[in-house]
Chain A
Amino acid sequence: MIELLEVTKSFDTQPQPAVDHFSLCVQSGETVALLGSSGCGKSTTLKMINRLLDPDSGKILIRGTATTDQDPVLLKRSIGYVIQDAGLFPHWNVFKNVGAVLKLLGEPESVVRKKSQQALEMTQLDPTEFGTRFPEELSGGQRQRVGVARALAFDPDIVLMDEPFSALDGVVRDQIQDLFLDLKSRLKMTTIFVTHDLFEALKMADRIAVMHEGRLEQFGTASELIHQPETEFVKDLFSKPARQLSLFQDIQPGK
Chain B
Amino acid sequence: MILERWPEIQSRLTEHLVLLTLVPVLLAILIGVPLGILAHRNEKSRGAILSGVGIAQTIPSLAMLALLLPLLGIGKPPAIAALTLYALLPITQNTLVGLAGAPTTTLEAARGMGFNSRQSLFQIEIPLAFPVILGGIRTATVTCVGVATLSTFIGAGGLGDFISRGLSLNNIPLLCLGAASAAFVALGLDGVLEALSHMTRPGRKAPISIFRKLYIISFVLVLGVIYFYTPEQHRAHTASAQSLPDTPVIRVSGKNFTEQMILAEMMAQQIERVTGYPVERKFNLGGTIICHNALINGEIDIYVEYTGTALTAILKESLRPEDLETEKLLDRINAHYSDELNCEFLSPLGFNNTYAIMVKSDISEAKEWNKISDLKSDAADLRAGFNSEFSEREDGYPGLARAYNLKFGAIQNLAPELIYQAIDVGQVDLICGFSTDGKIPQYDLKILEDDQNFFPPYEAIPVVRQEILETYPEIGEALEKLNGKIRNSDMQQLNQRAESGEQTIPAIVSDFLNQISQSGF
Contacts and interface: CB of A to CB of B under 8 A. Distances in A.
B129 to A, nearest CB: 10
Interface string B198-212: 000011100000000
B108 A85 contact: no
Contact of A88 (B106, B114, B116): B106
Interface residues of A, number: 29
Contacts of A133: 204
Contacts of B112: 47, 50, 52, 76, 81, 83, 160
A52 B204 contact: no
B114 A101 contact: yes
Interface string A83-95: 1111111110000
B15 to A, nearest CB: 38
Contacts of A171: none
Interface in A73-120: 73-78, 81, 83-91, 100-101, 104
B110 to A, nearest CB: 7
Interface string B92-106: 000000000001011
Interface in B4-31: none
Contacts of A50: 112
A88 B204 CA distance: 14
B115 interface: yes
A182 B274 CA distance: 98
A84 B124 CA distance: 19
Given A91-B203, A134-B204, A136-B204, A76 B105 contact: no
A12 to B, nearest CB: 15
Contacts of A75: 114
Given A50-B112, A101-B114, A89 B204 contact: no
A76 B202 contact: no
A141 interface: no
A104 B106 CA distance: 16
A83 B109 contact: yes
Given A85-B105, A87-B106, A91-B127, A77 B113 contact: yes
Contacts of A100: 113, 115
B452 interface: no
Contacts of A36: none
Interface in B426-444: none
A212 to B, nearest CB: 25
B113 A81 contact: yes
B98 to A, nearest CB: 13
B128 interface: yes
A73 B111 CA distance: 8
B113 A101 contact: yes
Contacts of A76: 111-114
A75 B116 CA distance: 11
B132 to A, nearest CB: 13
Interface in A121-152: 133-137, 150
A91 B106 CA distance: 11
A209 B362 CA distance: 109
Interface string A31-68: 00000000000000001001010000000000000000
B105 A87 contact: yes
Contacts of A137: 203-204
A54 B106 CA distance: 21
A73 B114 contact: yes
Contacts of B204: 133-134, 136-137
B109 A81 contact: yes
Nearest to B203: A134
A145 to B, nearest CB: 15
Given A76-B111, A83-B105, 15 more contacts: A47-B112, A52-B111, A52-B112, A83-B108, A83-B109, A84-B105, A87-B106, A87-B108, A89-B106, A90-B103, A90-B203, A91-B202, A91-B203, A104-B113, A104-B119
Interface of B: 103, 105-106, 108-116, 119, 124, 127-128, 202-204
Interface of A: 47, 50, 52, 73-78, 81, 83-91, 100-101, 104, 133-137, 150, 160
29 contacts: A47-B112, A50-B112, A52-B108, A52-B111, A73-B114, A73-B115, A76-B114, A77-B113, A78-B114, A81-B112, A81-B113, A83-B105, A87-B108, A87-B109, A87-B110, A88-B106, A89-B110, A89-B128, A90-B202, A90-B203, A91-B127, A91-B203, A100-B115, A104-B113, A104-B114, A104-B115, A134-B204, A135-B203, A137-B203
